[in-house]
Structure 1
Amino acid sequence: MKNFKRTVLAAVVVAMISGCGSAEDSSARFIESGKDLMEQGEFDKARLEFRNALQINPLEAEGYYQLALIDEKGQKWKGMYSNLVTVESLNPNHVPAIIKLGQLHVVSGQLDEAMKRAEKALSLEPENTDAILLKATTLIKQENFGMAESEINRVLAIDPKHMEALTARVMLFKNSGQTRKALDAADEALAIHPDAMPLKMIKLSVYQELNDYAAMESLYRELLPEYPNESWVAVSLAKLLNDSMNRYDDSKKVLEDYVANNPDDAETIMLLVALINSRDPDLAMTKLDEFIAAKPDNQELRFAKIEMLSIQGKQDLMISELEAIIASEPTSEIGLRARASIAGIKAQEGQFEEAETMVNDILAVSSEHEQALLLKAKLQLRNEQIDPAISNLRVLIRNNAELDEAMVLLAQAYALTGSSELAENSFRQALSVNPTNAQAALSVASVLMRGNDLDRTEQVLVRALDGNAGNENLLQALAQIRILKRDWAGTQQALDGLADSSALTHLLTAQMYQGLNDNTLAIAEYEAALKIDPNLTRALQQMMAIYYQQDQKEEIVTFLNDHIAQYPELTNGYLVLADFYRTEDNLPEAIATIDRALANDDEWTAGYSLKANLHYLNSEPDAAIAAFEEGLAKTPEDNQLAMQLASTHESKKEFEQARRLYEEVIARDPSIDVAANNLSSLLSDQFESPENLQRALVLSSRFRDSEQPYFADTFGWVNYKLGNYEDARPALERAASSNDAIALFHYHLGRLYVALKMPAEARQSFERAEQMANEENDAELAGKIGEQLSQL
C-alpha cells in the first residue's frame, strides 16, 4: 500500500512539472476566450472563462480586470471595486485599472484618491486621454473649473471628436453656472454625435435648472420616436406634463400611446392607472380591469388592483380579490403572495396569532418566501424573539441585497440587543441602498449628530426628503440641524414644509427664536405649542431653560404648577418640575413632586422607577427598593418594574430576592431575553449546582448564535461551567471581540483558554481583562484576574 501511494504521488508531481510550461499559455487562452465572449454579450460565460484563467494562475491581474469590467456592466460596484484593488496590488502599473478605480473614487466623492489615481496614470502614460479626463472630472468636482477646462482642451487637441471630452466640457459649463455656454457646447457636440444620449440628458438637466419646461418637452418629444420601447422617455415626459405643466390630458395620452405600443410593460401600465386614479378613481379601476382581462396571467397587474383598492379604502373588495387568487392558486407564487398579503392585513388589525399561523403555513411551502419571512421577523421582534428575528432578516438580506426594509428591521433588532455598532452599520447599509428610507436616514442622522457632523447630517436629511416630501420627522430633524448651524433662512424653509397650525411647527419656531435670543417670541411660540398639545414635554423643558437662564426660578415653579393644575392627568408637568428640583439639588422636593403625580395616577409605572432613581441619588437605597415594591403592589405583573427591582437586589448582593423576581417575570413571559439572560447568570454564578446549571443552559440556549455580547457571554459561561468547551468557545470569543466587551468577558474567555490548555491565549485574555477591570474600577474582578495570572 505504501508503494502504491508513493507511485500515485510521483505521477502527480510529474504531471505538475510537465504542465508548468503551459500554465501561462492556458491562462492567456482562457482570458482571450473570455474577451471574445464579452464582445458577444455572453457575460456569464465570459466570467467563467476568467475564473478558469485565475484558477490556473491566481496572480494574473488581467483576469481580475476583466471580471471588474463584467461587474461594471452589471452595476455591481462593490465587486468591481474589489477586483480593481486586486489588479492594482498584482500590477501597480495597470493603467486601465488605475483609471477605473479613479472613476469609482470620483463617483463616491473621494476626490483626493481620484486625483492620486489620475496623476499616477498620467505619470505612466502622459497622453492617455482617459487619464486626462479623469483628472478633469475630478477638478470639476473640486470646482477648479479653470484647470479642468485646460485638461479637457488637452484631450480635444488630441481628438477633436472625443465624445467623453465633449461631454465633460458641457458638464464643466453647467456646473460652473454657465448655462448658456453649456447649451451651446451641447449643441456643438450633438452636431458631431447626434445620437449621444448623455449629451441630451445634460441638456435636459440644464433646461430643468432654467425651468424651461417647453424646451424639455420639445427634447423629450424628439426622443420618443428614437426610443419607442424605452419607458423612461414616455414616463419622464408624462411626469413633466402633469407635475410641472399641469397638462393631465396630454400626460395621459403620452402614457396611453406608449402602452398601446408596449402592452407587456406592466410597470408603465400601473403608472398610467395611478395617473388616472389621481383624477378619476372609478375610471382607473375600469382601465385596470381592462388591462387584467387582456393579460390575466400578469401577477403585477392583479396586485396593482389590490393596492389600488387599499388606497381607495375598499378593504373588503381587496380581501375578496386576494381570497380569489388563493382559491385558484393556493401554492403558486402568486397564491403565496396573496396569502402573505392577507397575513399582513391580519397583523395590522392586531390578529397576531392568525397572522403567524398563516406565515408559518407559507414558509412550510416556501421556506425563504420574502414577504412571509419579512412578516415573520416583524412578529418575532414584536414578541421580543430577537435572535430568531435576526437570523431570518439575515436570510432575507442574503437573498435580496437591496431589501432596505429588512436592513432597517435588522438594525432595530441589533439596537434591542444593545449592539449599537451593528445597528448603526445596518442603518447605514439601508441608507446606501435607499437614500430616501426615512427610518434609516433619521438613525444615521442621529449618529452623525452625536459626532457633531452637522453638514453630513443635513445632507442625509435633505436626500431623504427627496423621496418623502412633507415627512414631519425628517423636516423636524432638518429644522433642528439648521437651528444648530444658525442657518435661520434654512430653518424657516424647513418649517414652511410643516403644517402651520401644528404643535410641532410652533415648537420648532420657538427653538428658532430661542436661537435668535428672542425669548419673548420663543415663549409665546412654546405656549402656542402647549395650547395645541399640552403633553409636549420638550416645550415645557425649553421654557424652563429660558426661565432658568434668566434666573427666574420662582416663575418656573409657578408656571409648572399652573400647568399641573390645568392638566393634572398629564405627567409631563410633574416630570419637568421634579427635574427642576433635582437640578437645584432639592431631591426631597423632587420626590414629593413625583408622589403628587402618583397620587393622581397610581398605575404610572415610570413614576415609580423615577422615584426609585431619585432615592438612589439621595443615598437612600432602601427607599429606592420600597419605591419599586410600591409600584409592583399597584401593578403586580409589570415586568419592567420587576426586572428593575431584581437588578437592584443584585447590586446589593441580595441574590435570592433577585432570583425570585426573575423567575416570576419568566413565568409570565418566557420570551423576555434579558430576564432569561440575568436568571441564567445568577443560577450559574450564585446558585451553582448541577440542576441549576442545566436550567441555566435551557434558558440561555437561545443565545447560542446571539450577536448581543452579554447574551453570548452568558451562554458561553454556562457551557464552560458544564464542561462543554467546544460550545462555549465561539460564544465567549464572540462576546470578547465585540466593541461592547467588558472586563468580565475577557476573564471568562481566559478561564476557557486555561481549560483548553492554551496558556498564551489565556494570558492575553487575562491581561486585557485586568486592564479593563482597572478602568472599570472593579477591584473584586481584578483580584480574581490576578490570581489566574499568577497561576499561569
Structure 2
Amino acid sequence: MRLLLSTTLVLGLGLSLAGCKTSAERAEEYYRSGLELLEQGDVDRAIVQFRNVFDIEGTHYEARKTLAETYRNRGDAGQAYSQYLRLAEQYPDDLAVRVALARLAFEGQQPDEFVRHATRATEIAPQDPDVQVLDLARRYRDATLAEDNGERAKLGEEAARMAAERADDPLLMGILLDRAAGSGDMEEADRLTARLLELQPDNPQRYMQRLALLAEREDKPAIEAHLRATIAKFPENTQAKADLVRFYMSEDQPDRAEAFLRELAAAAPADDPAPRADLVRFVEMQRGAQAAQAELDRIIAEGGDPLLFRTLRAGFDFQEGKRDEAIAEIRTVLEGVTEPGDTSRDVKVQLARMLVETGDEAGARAQVDEVLAQNASHPGALKLKAAWQIGEDKVDDAVLSLRAVLDQSPDDAEAMSLMADAYDRAGEPDLARDYLSQAAAASNNAAPETLRLVARLASEERWRPAEDAILPALRGAPDNLQLLQALGQVYLSMPDLPRAEGVITRLREIGTEEAVATAERLDLNRLASQEGEAAALGHLEQQANAADADIATKLSLIRAQLATGQNAAALTLAGDMVTAEPGSRPARMALALAQAANDNLPGAKTIFQSLIEEQPSDLPPHLALIRLASQEGDMDGALALTEQALAAIPDDPDLLWSKAGLIERKGDVDGAIAIYEQLYARDSSSVIVANNLASLLATWKSDDPAALSRASAVARRLKDTDVPAFMDTYGWIQHLNGDSAVALPYLEGAAASLTGDPVVQLHLGVVQEAVGKTEAAKAQLQKGFEMLPEGQEGRSITAAREAQARLDNPAAAQGTVAEGGTGAPEQAAN
C-alpha cells in the first residue's frame, strides 16, 4: 500500500511537471496566437494577444516590434511611436527601430525627436541607404532653419538623385515638395501632394499639404471637394469642418455654410449637442439674435437637451436685458437635474457669471462652491474663483487655481489672461506680458486678447512687437475699428507716417460714423507729429468752421484751444455756440470751462450751478465746481460741494476719490483710508487706487502689523515701477518690511522727481540712514524737515525724527543696543 501510494505521488508529480509551461513558453504562445490573428485580419484581438506577451515577458523583442508595426499600419502613429520607443530603450543600437522612430517623428512634426533618432541611426550605420535619407532630411532641416538657401538647393539636388531610386520615399518627397513650392513649380507640387496622399491616405498632414497647394492654385471647386473628402476620412477633424465653413464664407456663400452646419447637426448623435450649438452660433452671427432664438426654439421642440439649449436661450434673454427672467429660467432648468454631471456644472458656472454681472457676487460664489464641491478641477469654476482671488490680492492662490485649469486645457485663452492679471498683481510684468502673448495666440488672435497685449506693449514703447501682434488679428477681422485704431497709433508712435496714412485711408473707406471719427483723430495726431501742433490745430479750426460742422467737432477744437493756451479763442467759439443753441448743455459746459480758463470764475460757477440744478445727476459740472474751489484753496468749500454731489450721485467713484483727497488734506487719514478701501473693493485693478491705499497705510499706519501686511499685499504690483509716486509707496513699504537696500533706489527716484513733497524726501533720508549712508541721510532729513508744514505729524515723520536723533547722537543709539534694544534702523522706522 505504501509502495502504491509512493508510485501515485511520483506519477502525480510527473504529470504536474509535464503540464506546467515556463513563462517563456506561455509568452511565445501568446505571440504566435497574435500572429495567427493578424493573418486572419483580426487586428484588435491580435493586439490584445501581443499585450498579453508583455504581462509575462516585457522584453519580448519580436512581439513588441510586431505590435509597433501593427499600430503603424493601422495609422495609429502615437501608439506605434510609444512601442518603438520602448524597443529603443531596451535595444538602443537596433537600427530598424531608430529608423522607424525617426520617420514617425518626422511625420508627426516632432523635430527634436527626429533629430535625436536620426543622429543615433547615423552613428550606428552611416552607410545604410535608409539612414542616408534620414541624414539628408536632417541636414536639409538645419539649412532651412539657418536660412542657408545655397545649402538647401544643394541638398535638394541630392534628394532628387536619391529619389531616382526611391521614388516613393515620403521623406525625399517632402524635400522635393518644399523645393517645388519654393520655385513655384505648381505642376510638380501637384504631382507630389497627390502621390503622398495615395501613399499615406491615413496621414492628416498629407491632406493639409494638398489643401495648401489647392489654395495656392485658387482651385476653388477642388478646395471644396478636398475639404469634404477630408471630413469624410476624418469625421472628428473639427479643423477641416471649420475650414469648409470659412471657405464658403470667403466665397460669400453663407447659405451653403449654414446648410453644411445643418448637415452636421442632423447627423450628430442625440448625446452630442455641439453641432447644434455651432449651428445656433452661426445663425446668430449671420442673421442676428432673433433668428438664433427661433433656431433654439426649434431644437428644444425637437427634443434637444433642455439643460443646454434652454440655457442658451436664457443667455439671449439676458443679453436683451431680461436678466431676472433669464436667471429664473436657468434655475428652473437646474431644478430638473437629478444626477449632476459636466453639463449641469457648466450651466451652474454660466449662472454664476450672470449673477456676477447683476452684482450678486454672494450668489455667484455659492454656485461656484457647489460646482467645486462636486468637481474640484472644474475649469470654469476655477477661473471664476481665480478672478475673485486676484481681486482679493490672493495672488499665489489664484496662480494655483489657474495652473490647474491650464493643466487640463493648455490653450485656454481666458485662463491665460487671468494669469496675466495675477502676475501683474504680483509685480511680475515680464510674466504678465508673456501670458498676454500666449492668450492672444490661443484665442487665434481675437481682438480682445490682442488689444490687451498691444496696450501692454505700447505702454513699454515696444512698437514693432505691437505691430506684429495686431496684423494677424486684422487678417481675421479686417474691419475691426479698435484694431485699426491701435495699428494707426502704433505707426504714429514708431513713427511710420506713410503706413499710418494707409490705416487712416482704410478707416475712411469703411465709412461708418465711428470709423470716420477714428480716422480724423488719427489724422490730427499725424498732422501734429508731421507738421506740428499749429498745423493740427489749423486743420481742426478748418473743420469746425465748415458749414456742416457738428457740435462734436467744435467741442474738439475748444478742448484743443484750451490745452494749447488759446483761451480767448476758445471763449469766443464757445460763446458763439451758446448763442446759436442756448439750450445745449455741452455748449454751455464748454463756455463755463472757457470762462474759468479766462479767469471769469463767477461766470463759470453760475453756469455750472445752473447745469447742476437742471440735471443733478450730471457729474461733469459737479467735478468742475469742486476743482475750482480746490484751485482757490477753499478746501472746506470743495468738500461741501463734494458732499452735495454725492447726495445727488451716491457712491460715484470720481466723487469718492475727490472726497478722499480732500479729507486726507484736512487730516482725516482714517476716513480717507476707508474711502480708498471702498473704491478698492469695487475695482481692485485700479493701480492708482491701490497706490493711494497702500501709501496711506504705510505712511500713517506703519505701527499696525495688519495695516502694513495689507499695504504690502496691495503694493506688490508696483514692483519695477518708474512712476515717482508709486516708487515712493513701494520703496517705503520695502523698508518697513526690513529690506532697506531694495527700497533705496525706489526712494532715490521718487525724491528726485517729487522734489516738493516733504514726506517723500524724509522717506529717502530714513532709508539712507538705515543702509549706513550717514552724511547723505543727515542732509536729506534736514531738507525734508525744512519743507514740512508746521504741525504736520505721522508715523513716517516720527520715524524721520528718530533717524535724525540717531544720527545726531550715535553714542546714545549704541547705548540702546547695549541695553538690549535691536538697534536696527528698520525696526525703529516701524
TM-score normalized by the length of structure 1: 0.62
Task: Note closer, same or farther for the CA distance 1:506–1:282 as it changes in structure 2 (3 Å cut).
Answer: closer
Structure 1 pair 598–236 and aligned structure 2 pair: CA distance change class (3 A) = same
* Gapped regions of structure 2 (runs ≥ 5): 1-57, 90-97, 121-131, 773-822, 825-830
Helix, strand or coil at the partner of 2:411: coil
% of aligned pairs identical? 16
- The aligned residue for residue 598 of structure 1 is 608
- Does residue 495 (structure 1) correspond to residue 507 (structure 2)? The answer is yes
From the superposition, tell whether residues 368 and 228 of structure 1 become closer, same or farther in structure 2 (CA, over 3 Å): closer
Partners of 1:769 and 1:245 lie apart in 2 by 58
CA distance in 2, matches of 1:392, 1:271: 32
Matches within 5 A, 1:42-121: 96=116
1:41-97 CA distance string (max 9 Å, x none):
89899999999x99xxxxxxxxxx9xx99x99999x9xx99xx7xx9xxxxxx9529
Query: In terms of mean alpha carbon deviation, does 342-351 or 564-573 score higher?
Result: 564-573
Q: How far did residue 668 of structure 1 move?
A: 9.7
Provide closer, same or farther for how the CA distance between residues 631 and 751 of structure 1 changes in structure 2, counting only shifts above 3 A.
closer
Equivalent-residue separation in structure 2 for 1:377 and 1:593 (angstroms): 52
Deviations 1:222-273 (A, max 9, x none): 5455445645445544553465263836973686379648776643454456
Measured at CA, do residues 639 and 228 of structure 1 come closer, stay the same or move farther in structure 2, by a change above 3 Å?
closer
Counterpart AA for 1:460: A
Whether the 8 Å contact between 1:133 and 1:155 is mirrored in structure 2 is: no
CA distance in 2, matches of 1:501, 1:189: 49
Residue of structure 2 aligned with 1:783, choices 765, 778, 781: 765
What's the CA shift for 1:214?
1.3
Cα distance change of structure 1 residues 348 and 47 upon mapping to structure 2, 3 Å threshold: same
User: Are 2:534 and 1:534 equivalent residues in the alignment?
Assistant: no
1:328 is aligned to 337
Flag the 1:259–1:311 CA change in 2: closer, same or farther, 3 A: farther
Is 2:137–2:172's contact at 8 Å kept on the other side of the alignment?
A: no
1:447 — aligned with what?
456
Aligned length: 651
The answer as to 2:156 corresponding to 1:152 is yes
Cα deviation per residue 1:108-149 (whole Å; 9 max; x = unaligned)? xxxxxxxxxxxxxxxxx998223322234336xx6x766643
Q: Which has the larger radius of gyration?
A: 2
Which of 564, 586, 594 is 1:570 aligned to? 586
Are 1:390 and 1:410, in contact at CA under 8 Å, matched by a contact in 2? Answer: no
Do the aligned partners of residues 524 and 195 (structure 1) sit closer, same or farther apart at CA in structure 2, a change above 3 Å counting? Answer: farther
In 2, Cα distance between the equivalents of 1:212 and 1:533?
52
Q: What is the Cα deviation at residue 442 of structure 1?
A: 1.1
Question: What residue is the counterpart of 2:517 in the other structure?
Answer: 506
Matched with 1:341 is 350
The answer on 1:460 being equivalent to 2:466 is: no
Tell whether the 8 Å contact from 1:217 to 1:237 is kept in structure 2 after alignment. yes
CA offset at residue 425 of structure 1? Answer: 4.4
Task: Provide the secondary structure at the position in 2 that maps to 1:506.
Answer: helix
Determine which of 228, 243, 251 is the counterpart of 1:244: 251
Aligned-residue RMSD, C-alpha: 6.1
Alignment of 1:472-491 (within 5 A): 472-481=481-490, 485=496, 486-487=498-499, 490-491=502-503
Which residue number in structure 1 is paired with residue 802 of structure 2? none
Contact 1:347 1:355 in 2 (8 A): yes
**Could you say if the C-alpha distance between residues 241 and 503 of structure 1 is closer, same or farther in structure 2, counting changes exceeding 3 Å?**
closer
- 2:345 alignment partner AA: L
Question: What is the CA–CA distance in structure 1 between the aligned matches of 2:561 and 2:641, rounded to whole Å?
Answer: 32
Deviation of 1:687 after TM superposition, in Å, equals 6.6
Counterpart among 205, 220, 234 of residue 213 in structure 1: 220
Tell me the amino acid that sits aligned with residue 137 of structure 1: T
Q: Which residue of 1 aligns with 2:716?
A: 708
* 1:662 and 2:673 correspond: yes
Check 1:514–1:678 CA distance in 2 against 1; reply closer, same or farther (3 A cut): closer
Give the direction of change, closer, same or farther, for the CA distance of 1:642–1:466 in structure 2 (3 Å limit).
same
The equivalences for 1:341-740 within 5 A come to 341-349=350-358, 354-363=363-372, 366=375, 369-375=378-384, 385-388=391-394, 391-392=397-398, 395-400=401-406, 401-409=410-418, 411=420, 424-468=433-477, 470-481=479-490, 485=496, 486-487=498-499, 490-491=502-503, 494-495=506-507, 498=510, 500-509=511-520, 511-512=522-523, 515=526, 534=552, 541=559, 555-563=569-577, 566=581, 568-570=584-586, 574=590, 589=599, 595=605, 598-602=608-612, 622-623=633-634, 627=638, 630-635=641-646, 640-641=654-655, 643-644=657-658, 646-647=660-661, 656-663=667-674, 686=700, 693=703, 696-698=704-706, 708-709=716-717
Candidates 141, 146, 152, aligned match of 1:134: 141
Q: What is the identity, as a one-letter code, of the residue corresponding to 2:483? A: L
Segments of 5+ residues of structure 1 without an aligned counterpart are: 1-28, 55-64, 88-93, 101-124, 711-733, 754-761
Distance 1:524 1:310 in 2: 46
Change in CA separation of 1:393 and 1:263 when aligned onto 2, cut-off 3 Å: same
Look up the equivalent residue of 1:599 and give its one-letter code: Q
Q: Secondary structure at the match of 1:329?
A: coil
2: CA distance, partners of 1:493 / 1:588:
38
Equivalent position SS for 1:328: coil
The one-letter code sitting in structure 2 at the alignment partner of 1:784 is: V
Q: How does 1:228-267 map to 2 (within 5 A)?
A: 230=237, 232-233=239-240, 236-237=243-244, 239-241=246-248, 244=251, 246=253, 248=255, 252=259, 256=263, 260=267, 266-267=273-274
| Aligned residue type for 1:326 | E
Deviation at residue 561 of structure 1 after TM alignment = 4.3
What CA distance in whole angstroms lies between the structure 1 residues aligned with 2:279 and 2:476?
20
Q: Which residue in the other structure is 1:106 paired with?
A: none
Q: Tell me by how many angstroms 1:508 deviates.
A: 0.8
* Secondary structure of 2:552's aligned partner: coil
CA deviation vs aligned residue, 1:165-223 (integer Å, no higher than 9, x gap): 53354445546666566445545766776776545423423433454311212333554
Displacement after TM superposition at 1:460 (Å): 1.8
**1:375-424 Cα distance to aligned partner (Å, 9 max, x none):** 4566788xxx4425884475135323433224435545776898766654
- Alpha-carbon spacing, 1:349–1:132, altered in 2? closer, same or farther (3 Å): same
| 1:414 and 1:708 in contact (8 A); partners too | no
Output the CA distance in 1 between the equivalents of 2:175 and 2:141.
Answer: 10
C-alpha displacement of 1:783: 3.0
CA contact (8 A) 2:283 2:292 kept: yes
Residue type matched to 1:256 in 2?
Answer: E
Once the two structures are superposed, residues 406-462 of structure 1 have per-residue CA deviations (whole angstroms, 9 ceiling, x without a partner) of: 443554577689876665444333223224332221122223334555443333223
Deviates more, 1:473-482 or 1:602-611: 602-611
CA distance in 2, matches of 1:514, 1:678: 33
Shift of 1:287: 6.6
CA contact (8 A) 2:143 2:151 kept: yes
Alpha-carbon distance in 1 for matches of 2:174, 2:629: 71
Partners in 1 of 2:715 and 2:640 — Cα distance? 33
> 1:508 corresponds to which letter in structure 2?
A
Change (3 A) 1:626 1:167: farther
In structure 2, do the counterparts of structure 1 residues 373 and 739 end up closer, same or farther at CA, with 3 Å as the change threshold? farther
Q: How far apart are the structure 1 equivalents of 2:463 and 2:690?
A: 41
Q: Distance in 1 between matches of 2:635 and 2:241?
A: 69
In the aligned structure 1, how far is the partner of 2:663 from the partner of 2:294?
68
TM-fit CA distance, 1:703: 6.0
The one-letter code of the counterpart of 2:332 is E
| Preserved CA contact (<8 Å) 2:698 2:711 | no
